[in-house]
Amino acid sequence: MSLETLYQEILLDHYKRPRNKGVLPHASVHGGGVNPFCGDRIDLYLRLEEDRVVDVRFQGEGCAISQASASMLTEAIHGKTVEEIRAFAARVEKMLKGEEGDELDGLGDVQALQGVRKFPVRIKCALLAWKVLQDALGEYLRNPA
Amino acid sequence: MASDAPVLAGRSRHVVADPLDVERIRQDFPIFLKRTGKKRLIYLDNAATTQKPKSVIDAVRRFYCEHNANVHRGAYWLSEEATRLYEGAREVVRSFLNAPTSSTIVFTRNATESINLVAYAWALNHLKPGHQIVLTEMEHHSNLVPWQMVARRTGARLEYVRITDQGKIDLDQLSELLRRPTGLVAVTHASNVLGTINPVAEVARLARAWGARILVDAAQSAPHIPVDVLDLDPDFLAFSGHKMLGPMGIGVLYAKRERLEEAEPFLFGGDMILSVDWHESTWNELPWKFEAGTPNVAGAVGLAEAIRYLQRLGTGRIFSHERQLVRYAFERLSEVEGLRIFGPGPEERLGVISFEVHGIHPHDLATFLDARGIAIRAGHHCAQPLMKRLGVVATARISFYLYNQPDEIDALVDALQEARRFFLG
């Protein structure tokens, strides 16, 4: 278990140069969450047009894994429909929990998160942004604005 | 009490001529020996729990191999022998705390259970609406959450003594607070985050002058500095065995006899009764009134051996060794750019150092160090209100014990420098 498995270059790049960081006023979907164990915090903002993400931002603080994961998330879901995002997030969650084999096609940069599987205490860090996303979309679908 | 305890009477700035032979001490700890050949273990999380010397492990093993029987029950020699060992362990703890009688020494699972015992058995029956419970901002959750429960149930109010920017409690504010009716002052002897050694004898004196009871959480202090209940004079004092070389699952509550007498039992069942009728029972004498059910006899025996081990080496020598490590750590850590230490200077703390490295989250730091065989703690250290006070969500923490060495601090500092290149480069 080398450190480089966990902190892959792409991941460190997202941590040092987070993509889409900031607040989105008038977001169609907004959600936030924390990991009480370590204090990691993520807020997500999505703007939808005709069910498709046309803009996305995240705010947060915490470890490299949690913040890089959120940054990757914003790139991964840009341009996707809500249904596509939910399917994608479910796949990522399975990958992080080690429930899926090696079928990581189409996950892009997000693949770099798979190293956490060898570091059980860090899985929660990687999962946080994706859980916030799933919860926020679930809420959005139940109560569309 | 260790024979050299008076050396420490003046606290911190003393020099013991006879330093510990750490290389030899390390030979007593199987966990360090097993690792030879593999990656070296640099264990810097002693405030969480300590490693166990072979003599403690053997004492527990020997109890089960040679002396195992239930205590206070059987009219046969093996049970008498187990009872003798269990009560002998109580006597070792009594002498360690310099308590007048072993009837005021109650065995529990750990400091948390000891504090809960006070909360349930004494505080719920003695605190009233209008009372305050005075805590400090540096309490561990174990000396904070039970008092939230007591406050909710009794109508007493929680008040917190501020800590200064140097990480010390504000005694002036404590004196102010004590002007109002105070049921209990519950304070830690030493902070598990800041390492601050609190002047608990002074706190107890103030509290008593205003008629308040005092509880001292000695979980962090008992392993490292003398805890003399005649000197500190608390109403209650709690600590855990596993933070001082003892087994997990054995802890101690000391309390003044009057407090134990006026308290209700905490747990009800076997061994804590004198007689039981269909509808009523009478309670056993102290301390057994508070020890319902089969106790952790092997744990008590192990704890007694841990105390003997510490006393053989001498509390003063151990403290002196740790103080030198703290001084050296302060010196070396100051070389790391962006590193900030929380709490007081090296002369006013135990071997506990919480810090942050600017730009690197404590969890990333801990994972990085772990890959180099260095075990440190990262997180809120069960002191979330204190984290709030410090304005951080988490810190990294190193904590020393008698088996740590300066070259482990060197390895830590090298790894911190590498971590900076890795995460910030």
E-strand stretches of B300-360: 339-341, 352-357
B-chain residue closest to A39, CA distance: B393
Amino acid letter, residue B159:
E
Kindly tell me if the per-residue pLDDT of B385 is higher than 70: yes
Residue A122 is nearest to which of B367, B393, B424, comparing CB atoms?
B367
The answer to whether residue B65 is catalytic is no
Q: Do A122 and B371 touch (CB under 8 A)?
A: no
pLDDT one-digit tens code per residue, B71-117: 987 789 999 999 999 999 999 999 999 999 999 999 999 999 999 99
> Residue A38 is part of which domain span?
3-142
pLDDT one-digit tens code per residue, B176-199: 999 999 999 999 999 999 999 999
CATH 3.40.1280.10 fits B56-311, yes or no: no
**CATH assignment at residue A60:** 3.90.1010.10
The minimum CA-CA distance between B351 and chain A, rounded to whole Å, is 24
The minimum CA-CA distance between B111 and chain A, rounded to whole Å, is 22
pLDDT one-digit tens code per residue, B196-250: 999 999 999 999 999 999 999 999 999 999 999 999 999 999 999 999 999 999 9
Tokens of B372: 């180099």
Q: Does B359 touch chain A (CB under 8 A)?
A: no
Q: What is the pLDDT of residue A100?
A: 65
Residue A63 is nearest to which of B361, B387, B422, comparing CB atoms?
B361
- Tell me the C-alpha distance between B35 and B40, whole Å: 6
pTM over 0.80: yes
Q: Of the listed B31, B48, B158, B382, which one is catalytic?
A: B382
pLDDT band at B306 (very low <50, low <70, confident <90, very high): very high
Length of chain B: 425
Of the residues A7, A63, A119, the best mutation for testing chain B's interface (the one with the most B CB atoms within 10 Å of its CB) is A63
Mean pLDDT of B345-353: 97
Q: Counting one residue from A and one from B, how many pairs have CB atoms under 8 Å apart?
A: 43
3-state class (DSSP) for residue B196: strand
Of the residues B363, B393, B422, B424, the best mutation for testing chain A's interface (the one with the most A CB atoms within 10 Å of its CB) is B363
Residue A86, CA distances (Å) to A77, A126, A130, B67, B150 in order: 10, 17, 10, 62, 45
Strand order across the beta sheet in which B213-217 lies: B105-108, B251-255, B236-240, B213-217, B182-188, B132-136, B157-161
Q: Do A38 and B363 touch (CB under 8 A)?
A: yes
Residue B423 is nearest to which of A37, A62, A64, comparing CB atoms?
A64
Contacts of B407 (CB under 8 A, 6+ apart): none
ipTM: 0.89
A-chain residue closest to B370, CA distance: A3
Which residues in B lie closer than 8 A to residue A3 (C-beta atoms)? 367-368, 371, 422
Q: Do B367 and A3 touch (CB under 8 A)?
A: yes
Q: Which of the listed CATH numbers 1.10.150.20, 3.40.718.10, 3.90.1150.10, 3.20.20.140 matches domain B22-33+314-419?
A: 3.90.1150.10
Domains identified in chain A, total number: 1
